[in-house]
Amino acid sequence: MEKPTCRTCPYWDFDEGVFADEDPDVVSTYCKRLPPVLPSAAFVAACVQVSTASEASVFRGEWPMVKGAEWCGEHPDFPAWITSRLG
Ligand code: SF4
């Protein structure tokens, strides 16, 4: 069994229309396994003084960036791969 990577993960957000000419293993894309991470209020305050809601929206959360060749233990096939490695 091959090691599961982001490229085969159902949580991987790869837009073939946008990245048609890119190598999926190296182009930066998103992992949508978990919600975007929001910056802390302290981080926002340290960056800029926000006076309107539209300015604050600049600081929306961001999805984790991944590449197709990367991997993590959240891939649904990861437990099976671990088991296959144990023999
Ligand atoms: S980081 Fe993990 S959960 Fe996210 S796309 Fe890659 S293998 Fe899947």
Q: Whole-model pTM?
A: 0.75
Q: Which residues contact 5 (CB under 8 A, 6 or more apart)?
A: 25, 68, 69, 70, 71, 75
Q: How large is the average pLDDT for residues 16-44? A: 85
| Nearest atom (ligand 1) to Cα of 73 | 2
* Max avg pLDDT among 16-30, 38-52, 62-76: 62-76
Task: State which of 9, 37, 70 you would mutate to test the pocket of ligand 1, scoring each by most atoms of that ligand within 8 A of its C-beta.
Answer: 9
Q: How large is the average pLDDT for residues 49-71? A: 73
Confidence at residue 51, expressed as pLDDT on a 0 to 100 scale: 59
Q: How large is the average pLDDT for residues 28-51? A: 78
Query: Ligand 1: residues whose CB is within 6 Å?
Result: 6, 9, 11-12, 31, 33, 66, 70-72, 74-75
